[in-house]
DNA sequence: GTATTAACTTTGAATATCAAAGTACTTTTA
DNA sequence: TAAAAGTACTTTGATATTCAAAGTTAATAC
C-alpha cells in the first residue's frame, strides 16, 4: 500500500524541488527560492539532501558577472521521483474508485 | 506550487491510514496494522495525531468478547485529505505534461 | 568603502518518528 | 486455575528532520 513512497520525497519542499526539475530541465537557486517561498538556508539544505542521494546535480557558473548555481535532476532522480509519483497516483486512484460508489 | 500540501498527511503512514479510511468507511486497529506493516505503538501514535486534528474518529466496542477499536474519517478529514490529494495530483500532472514533450 | 547579491554553512531549537518495552484488562488454552 | 495470548494502547528514549536566523565568503555595484 505505501511501499512505493520514497522518504526522500515526502517533504513538501523536496516534492517541490523535484517537480520543478521535471518541468525545467535546469533551474537556478533563486528561481527555486521564489517558486517555493522558502528561506535560502532551508532550500540549500534540502538541495543538499537530494544531492547526497544523487537525485540532483549542481552546476556553478556565471551569468555575466554574477555567480549562478543551477540544478538538474539526474536520470536516477527522475526515475526515483517517477516511482514515487506512481505510488502517490495509486493512492489517489483508490480514492477516485471510491468516489464512483 | 506546494501550498495545498497538508503537513499532517505528509508522512507515509498517515497517508496510508487516510487512504484506507477512504476505501473502508470503518476499519479496525489490527487490520490497519496488518495493511500498513507498522508496530502497534507507531500506528497508535499516528492515529492519535489524526484524531487530535479531528480528521478521524474512534469507536470502541466489542466483537463477541474481544475488544475492538475502529476508526473512520470525519467529513472534515475527508475534505482535508481530498484537498491534499488534489495538490499531489496537480504535481503529478505537471510531470505528465512534461512527458508529452 | 559601503551596500548588495548570491549561495551557502552553522547553529540551535522544536518537532517528528520509530522501536521497544511496559501496562491493563480480558480471554483462551492446557 | 495458572499460564499464555490478544487488544490496544502509553511511555520512554534515542535518533532524525525541519526550519529560521544569523553568520560567512566572495564578488559587484554604487
Which residue of B11, B91, B97, B98 to mutate against A (max A Cβ within 10 Å)? B91
Chain A residues whose beta carbon lies within 8 Å of the beta carbon of residue B23: 94-95, 97-98
Residues A21 and A32: their CA atoms lie apart, in Å, by 10
B40 CB closer than 7 A to any strand D atom:
yes
Residues A68 and A65: their CA atoms lie apart, in Å, by 9
A7-96: CATH architecture: Orthogonal Bundle (1.10)
Looking at residue A62, what DSSP letter applies?
Answer: E
- Name the packing angle between helices B75-99 and A12-23 (round to 10°): 30
Predicted pLDDT at A16: 95
For residue A66, the surrounding DSSP H or E stretch is: strand A66-73
- Cα–Cα distances in angstroms (integers) from residue A52 to residues A48, A55, A63, A74, in the given order: 6, 8, 26, 12
Residue A69's SS3 state is strand
Residues A84 and A88: their CA atoms lie apart, in Å, by 6
Query: What are the residue ranges in chain B where pLDDT is below 70?
Result: 95, 97-101
Which grid coordinates belong to B46?
Answer: 499516528
For residue A72, the surrounding DSSP H or E stretch is: strand A66-73
Question: Which B residues in the span 62-91 are in contact with A, Cβ-Cβ below 8 Å?
Answer: 81-82, 85, 88-89, 91
Residue A101 has pLDDT above 50, yes or no: no
Strands (E) in chain B, as ranges, are: 27-28, 56-63, 66-73
The nucleotide whose C1' lies nearest the CA of B42 is C18
Residues B33 and B35: their CA atoms lie apart, in Å, by 6
Predicted pLDDT at B101: 41
Q: Which CATH class is domain B7-99?
A: mainly alpha
- Looking up cell 508522512 gives B11
Report the distance from CA of residue B52 to the C1' of nucleotide C4 in Å, as an integer. 46
Write out pLDDT tens, residues B42-68: 999 999 999 999 999 999 999 888 889
Q: For nucleotide D17, give the residue with the nearest CA to its C1'.
A: A11
Chain A residues whose beta carbon lies within 8 Å of the beta carbon of residue B7: 12
- Domain boundaries defined on chain A: 7-96
Contact between residue A18 and residue A71 where contact means Cβ atoms under 8 Å apart: no
CA angle A9, A14, A16 (to 5 degrees): 115
Predicted pLDDT at B2: 83
Contact between residue B36 and residue A1 where contact means Cβ atoms under 8 Å apart: yes
Contact B1 A36 (CB under 8 A): yes
Write out pLDDT tens, residues A6-60: 999 999 999 999 999 999 999 999 999 999 999 999 999 999 999 999 999 999 9
Per the model's pLDDT, the better-predicted residue between A90 and B100 turns out to be A90
Asked if A98 reaches chain B (Cβ–Cβ under 8 Å), the answer is yes
Amino acid at each position: 500500500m505505501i511501499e512505493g513512497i520514497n522518504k526522500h520525497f515526502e517533504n513538501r519542499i523536496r516534492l517541490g524541488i523535484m517537480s520543478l526539475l521535471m518541468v525545467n530541465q535546469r533551474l537556478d537557486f533563486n528561481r527555486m527560492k521564489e517558486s517555493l517561498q522558502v528561506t535560502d538556508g532551508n532550500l540549500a539544505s534540502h538541495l543538499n539532501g537530494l544531492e547526497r542521494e544523487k537525485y540532483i546535480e549542481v552546476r556553478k557558473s556565471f551569468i555575466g558577472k554574477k555567480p549562478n548555481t543551477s540544478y538538474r535532476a539526474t536520470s536516477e532522480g527522475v526515475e526515483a521521483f517517477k516511482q514515487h509519483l506512481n505510488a502517490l497516483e495509486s493512492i489517489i486512484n483508490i480514492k477516485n474508485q471510491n468516489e464512483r460508489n
